[in-house]
């Protein structure tokens, strides 16, 4: 697989179907996690400084739910979880909806 310019494509475990981006909701509203999903600043790291105690508790709650479900976190994105040891176990999907 390569892009049209010959460079290898950027591949994430989302492309393999083994990663999810999740947050917590209550009463149809997202809970305060300290940043929005896809905020790639240092505040998105699980153990970032400057978070309120409530934001830390919310992140730890999500971490507990996801790890009990069998997913592993990545250090730099509080919302990203993936199946452990999944690299190279599943093919990369480059299209959706084709049967």
Catalytic residues: 77
With CB under 5 A as the contact rule, the residue among 9, 11, 21, 76 that binds Zn ion is: 21
Nearer to Zn ion, 15 or 48 (CB): 15
Quote the CA–CA distance of 27 and 7 in Å, as a whole number.
45
Smallest separation (angstroms) from Zn ion to the CB of 1:
20
Quote the CA–CA distance of 38 and 56 in Å, as a whole number.
18
Nearer to Zn ion, 44 or 51 (CB): 44
CA distances from 84 to 19, 74, 81 (A): 10, 10, 9
Smallest separation (angstroms) from Zn ion to the CB of 28:
23
Quote the CA–CA distance of 17 and 87 in Å, as a whole number.
11
Which x/- pattern, by CB under 5 A, does the window 39-68 give for Zn ion? ------------------------------
Distance from CA of residue 62 to its chain's centroid?
A: 11
Determine, following the binding rule CB under 5 A, whether residue 75 of this chain makes contact with Zn ion: no
Determine, following the binding rule CB under 5 A, whether residue 16 of this chain makes contact with Zn ion: no
């Amino acid at each position: 697989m390569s892009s049209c310019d010959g460079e290898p494509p950027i591949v994430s475990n989302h492309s393999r179907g083994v990663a999810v981006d999740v947050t917590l909701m209550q009463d149809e509203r997202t809970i305060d996690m300290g940043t929005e999903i896809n905020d790639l600043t240092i505040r998105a790291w699980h153990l970032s400084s400057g978070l309120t105690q409530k934001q830390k508790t919310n992140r730890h709650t999500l971490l507990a739910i996801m790890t009990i479900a069998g997913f592993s976190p990545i250090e730099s994105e509080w919302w990203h979880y993936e199946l452990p040891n999944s690299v190279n176990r599943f093919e990369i999907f480059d299209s959706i909806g084709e049967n």
